[in-house]
Amino acid sequence: MIKDLWYKNAVVYCLNVGTFMDSNGDGIGDFEGLMRRLDYLSGLGVNCLWLMPFQKSPQRDDGYDISDYYQVDPRYGTLGDFVDFTHEAKQRGIRVMMDLVINHTSDQHPWFQAARRDKSSRYRDYYLWADKKPKDAQSGMVFPGVQKTTWTRDPIAGKYYFHRFYKFQPDLNTQNPEVQEEIRKIMGFYLELGVCGFRMDAMPFVIQTKGTTAAHTERYTMLREFREFLQWRVGDAIILAEANVEPDLNMHYFGDDGDRLQMMFNFWVNQRVFYALASGNSRPLAKALEQTRNRPATAQWANFLRNHDELDLGRLSDEERQIVFEEMGPDKTMQLYDRGIRRRLAPMLDGDRRRLELAYSLLFTLPGTPVIRYGDELGMGDNLRLRERNCARTPMQWSTEPHAGFTRADKPILPVITGGPYGYEQVNAAQQRRDPDSLLNWTERIIRMRHEVPEIGWGDYSVVETGHDHVFAMRYDWRNNSVLVVHNLGAAQTEIEMHLGDKLGRTLINLLGDEHSHADNKGRHHIVLESYGYRWYRVGGLGYLLDRTSY
């Protein structure tokens, strides 16, 4: 029964163990601290956590540089603590997904250490080497402006090695069957420890052929091999891919028969959501949804607003990108890698509560599964004095105690935001929990409603014409139930007129407030949306189909 596809309607919360909660006062968040905050997460209504990398690492790219796949970074605890944590999460009905970073290792990984020292080492071919600096070494850099090349000379090997990302992250030769075997072994290990799946880092690069020229091909069959392995071990485990690709490639990732990846982040839609929020024009968003509509029935999109990286706007037109920059990140200091904005969501929206609710309401009603980021439920801000993406990775703000109650230490791993409108004195979980009107409590309520509207994860959607570019309406239909969501992206109050076409559509029950809508005698609804207003309606009369919330 398809009901078993838990990921179709989960609410995912992503966090970094190191900046969430410190239990032992060393300034670094840990599994013990995270465990103590599981009740908070459960209260918020999230039912899947995505943990950023927590394995042993020199931490030069926030853990995306792993030096031992089979150890928890000692700063976060032990494997024992990790298993305690997955168990405790399970007790609360929360699944745990983890980052799987296997495109590259840290240069401190014993595989690389052995490979660079000895050309006859069995690990030599785990990486990619060249005698001379390849002429394409200046192309394909992921961090332009910071990264200088993709081939760096290793003095010990006396050769150049390939690195798609920073130079301390040598790429694994993922076409090597022995490397693929290692990847499966790592997956199998963590599945045994209780994870529900993996967020696979840098997926397009993992499956590419890698060599001394920039030309490459994608080996999509690898995706099916990963998938099969996963499901032989744990039937309902999933892979959620980080793959910021053009829409015509999506089905290669999902597989025509749904035999490859279960989930992908919808980067294409994400960029048009920000364009819509910045410009007030929803047409490109509607188009992007259409372009990414196609997916196998068992697959699902993961939607998000901000994540731990910069907001990558690289797939917008120059003109569209410029509009988002002007509206949401006008200063050079707010921009990164010539393509994105590195701020947190709240400051990008001027801390305007109406716009934050609008953005989140939109996220929660996009076709797919919503992924939210720690601290966004409080409206946390950023610290642009911190380098690159660290500005949006500051510790969770729990209370008004020193360092926001994140740690007892004098010096946290990254400084907590203090002073000003986003400082922990103003923005913290303890105060917001007690205030019924807080963003935290709003988020909890919208998550609860999202759980009550499974049509969004399961149903077919259509965009409903509202007569205004800045008012975006979508209808979901699933098993004789329908839901209509409407978002006013503009600052102006707007009256819309809509015809839903069927008898059922004569009554709209407001799921978030008291004003329901009844069609006039021509079957049209007249709805007045306030500035940045949003509505979630169940289509149909009061008491209709009692198995769904319609009161």
Q: Which does 273 bind (CB under 5 to 8 A by kind): Ca ion, ligand NOJ, none?
A: none
Cβ-Cβ contacts under 8 Å for 235 (sequence gap 6 or more): none
Residue 165 contacts ligand NOJ per CB under 6 A: yes
Residue 366 contacts ligand NOJ per CB under 6 A: no
Residue 171 contacts ligand NOJ per CB under 6 A: no
Residue with tokens 């970074």: 73
242 catalytically annotated: yes
Q: Which of 242, 320, 444, 455 is catalytic?
A: 242
User: Residue 357 has which token pair?
Assistant: 């609710």
Provide Rg for the chain, Cα atoms.
24
Range 387-406, binding ligand NOJ (CB under 6 A): none
Q: Which does 236 bind (CB under 5 to 8 A by kind): ligand NOJ, Ca ion, none?
A: none
DSSP assignment, residue 102?
-
Q: C-beta of 29: minimal distance to Ca ion in Å? A: 6
Residue 73 contacts ligand NOJ per CB under 6 A: no
Q: C-beta of 424: minimal distance to ligand NOJ in Å? A: 24
Q: Residues 331, 166, 247, 308: is their CA dihedral positive or negative? A: negative
The site that binds ligand NOJ (CB under 6 A) totals a number of residues, namely: 9
Q: C-beta of 525: minimal distance to ligand NOJ in Å? A: 42
Nearer to ligand NOJ, 36 or 339 (CB): 339
Cβ atoms of 220 and 119 closer than 8 Å? no
3-state secondary structure 410-441: CCCCCCCCCCCCCCCCCCCHHHHHHCCCCHHH
Of the candidates 154, 182, 201, 455, which one interacts with ligand NOJ according to CB under 6 A?
201
Q: How far, in Å, CA of 313 to CA of 307, rounded?
A: 13
Alpha carbon 230 to chain centroid distance?
A: 21
Nearer to ligand NOJ, 312 or 497 (CB): 312
Q: C-beta of 21: minimal distance to Ca ion in Å? A: 9
Q: Residues 384, 386, 391, 395: is their CA dihedral positive or negative? A: negative
Q: Which does 30 bind (CB under 5 to 8 A by kind): ligand NOJ, Ca ion, none?
A: Ca ion
Q: C-beta of 77: minimal distance to Ca ion in Å? A: 8
Cβ atoms of 517 and 506 closer than 8 Å? no
Q: How far, in Å, CA of 58 to CA of 29, rounded?
A: 16
Reduce the DSSP state of residue 487 to 3 states and report it. strand
Q: C-beta of 213: minimal distance to ligand NOJ in Å? A: 22
User: Residue 296 has which token pair?
Assistant: 């196998």
Q: Which does 203 bind (CB under 5 to 8 A by kind): Ca ion, ligand NOJ, none?
A: none
Of the candidates 7, 13, 50, 64, which one interacts with ligand NOJ according to CB under 6 A?
64
Start-to-end CA span in the chain (Å): 28
Range 12-71, binding Ca ion (CB under 5 A): 22, 24, 26, 28, 30
Q: How far, in Å, CA of 528 to CA of 184, rounded?
A: 54
Q: How far, in Å, CA of 170 to CA of 479, rounded?
A: 50
Residue 202 contacts ligand NOJ per CB under 6 A: yes
Binding mask 88-107 for ligand NOJ (x = CB under 6 A): -------------x------
Q: Which of 88, 201, 357, 444 is catalytic?
A: 201
Q: How far, in Å, CA of 55 to CA of 548, rounded?
A: 42
Residues of the shown chain interacting with Ca ion in the complex, contacts defined by CB under 5 A: 22, 24, 26, 28, 30
Residues acting as catalytic residues:
201, 242
Residues of the shown chain interacting with ligand NOJ in the complex, contacts defined by CB under 6 A: 61, 64, 101, 165, 201-202, 242, 308-309
